[in-house]
Structure 1
Amino acid sequence: MFNLEDKTALVTGGNGGIGLGMARGLAQAGARVVIAARNSEKSTAAVEALRALGSDSFALAADVSDEASVQRLVDEAAERCGRLDILVNNAGTTVRKPVDQLALSEWHQVMDTNLTSAFLCCRAAYPHLRKAGGGKIINIGSMMSIFGAPYAPAYGASKGGIVQLTRAMAASWAPDNIQVNAVLPGWIRTELTDGARVQVQGLEDRVNTRTPAGRWGRPEDLAGIAVFLASPASDFVTGTAIPVDGGYSIAA
């Protein structure tokens, strides 16, 4: 039910943080994982880690906010592997400023990296998934898809958009046996949140206090949900947005 042998997964931003945590889970379940990212040094290290788990993995460089680059990425991944079964849209960034201090260029930077990239990757992957007889798309949203923060207007808007894009594609592509779901991570220790702990005073303790699990998440905490949503176990699950946050979003 959770076996991903002979499946090919493309993970954007998969060379670190949540992306690598998910990629590890997919690799352990038997998938060949293709890492898409711009930092070649990190990608090389990520591929070595996945190969150590037995996955015939490799990395491709891409700018996921560029239409032509995305098309080349998806087509090359499918061609080299002979198929494409799973797409994880994880690439993301943020600019921590309130609306009145946010430049238009910064707004576009966040929206293009977080939301437009998912649209481009999904659109490029669709014919390959359909050719394979169906597939799985996992879009990475955020707890900011649920509620707002004064320092993350662009990030929150992009992640809210991820949920709505997920629902639209789930409804559209269900007849093609393509399930599309979103994962909403909470506070996970990554390079992205390292900056938040520095910039947002008292964040470390507030997260620990509010989270019922009593700790920050780790990238490996996302491995299980990735395998579930990528496997036959979730064949009747589509259009959902699943928090993985240790209970942070349900706490009073």
Structure 2
Amino acid sequence: MNLELKDKVVIVTGGASGIGKGIVGALLKEGAAPCILDRDGGDVNTYADDLGSSTEKIISLAVELTDETSCRNAIETIVKKTGRIDALVNNAGTNDGVGLEKGSIPQFYGSLNNNVGHYFLMAKLCLPFLKVSKGTIVNIISKIYTTGQGGTSGYAAANGARASLTQDWAQELEKHRVSVYGVSVAECWTPQYKKWISQKDSPEEALKLINSKIPLENRMTTTVELADMTVFLLSRKSGVNSGQIVFVDGGYVHLDGG
């Protein structure tokens, strides 16, 4: 299917690894021009090595997403180079384990800032350009906002906010023909996930138990599957479904897996 994304300028936060990197790869395959905003910037050459894709359309910038000036400078650089912004994928964040019992109040506020503050900031900065392009915002959301996990209050609250913002922005921006979607992630194998599970007493047994709870095929969602859905939502082929949150999780949430 031709998603008609050729040369579209799409910002992907946290695009240097994991789910974000998968999304960048899917965009490249559709001929889009992805812009990576990541704390580490990211080595563009790895996209050619890992994905077999041309890197000539990529813009990769080292950005501290919690810093407004850093984000503003990045947007200015992108617009100066491309003249437009067609879409934003808010993806960056981390399950930082700031819980109710062991987390402090400053840590909780910090978790919100690290995991949802930049979603608002990036949308705010991109909005003038998205209005012109009648573009799209996709917010990547953890299933934790519906299932909970325990011991991670900050991340859970941030993802609840991501979901609520998706629906609120969809209503606010419909008059500008800007579409807003959410993609809900459950268990997906990423470098962050690998690091987390390696800290378990028995990583192999923990992984086996997690996979057993995923109804469809008893396996984790891949970054490719998440990327394909995200890129589809970024295209006009997704239709007039703004405000929807799509669960890409093998039935984990809705088929009684979690």
TM-score by length of 2: 0.90
Shift of 1:51: 8.7
> 1:136-215 residue pairs with structure 2 within 5 A?
136-199=136-199, 202-213=205-216, 214-215=218-219
- Structure 1: segments with no counterpart, 5+ residues: none
Partner of 1:242: 246
Partner of 2:58: 57
| Residues 39 and 65, structure 2, Cα contact 8 Å, conserved in 1 | no
Q: Percent identical across equivalent pairs?
A: 27
Shift of 1:45: 4.0
| Residues 75 and 126, structure 2, Cα contact 8 Å, conserved in 1 | yes
> C-alpha distance in 2, partners of 1:150/1:200?
16
| Residues 16 and 46, structure 1, Cα contact 8 Å, conserved in 2 | no
- What is the SS of the residue equivalent to 1:34? strand
Shift of 1:121: 0.1
Shift of 1:101: 0.2
Count of residues in correspondence between the two structures:
250
> C-alpha distance in 2, partners of 1:146/1:7?
33
Partner of 2:8: 7
Q: Using CA pairs under 8 Å that are at least 6 residues apart, name the structure with larger relative contact order, 1 or 2.
A: 1
- Structure 2: segments with no counterpart, 5+ residues: none
Q: What is the CA deviation profile of residues 228-250 of structure 1, one whole-angstrom value per residue up to 9, with x for unaligned ones?
A: 11101124011111111111112
- What is the SS of the residue equivalent to 2:125? helix
| Residues 136 and 179, structure 1, Cα contact 8 Å, conserved in 2 | yes
Letter in 1 for 2:3: F
Letter in 2 for 1:144: I
- What is the SS of the residue equivalent to 1:59? strand
- What is the SS of the residue equivalent to 2:147? coil
Indicate the larger mover: 44-53 or 202-211: 44-53
TM-score by length of 1: 0.92
Q: What is the CA deviation profile of residues 178-227 of structure 1, one whole-angstrom value per residue up to 9, with x for unaligned ones?
A: 10111111111112212331345653122211101211122112121112
| Structure in which a larger fraction of residues adopt helix | 1
> C-alpha distance in 2, partners of 1:170/1:88?
14
| Residues 92 and 110, structure 1, Cα contact 8 Å, conserved in 2 | no
Going from structure 1 to structure 2, the CA distance change for 1:177 and 1:43 (only over 3 Å counts) comes to: farther
Shift of 1:46: 4.5
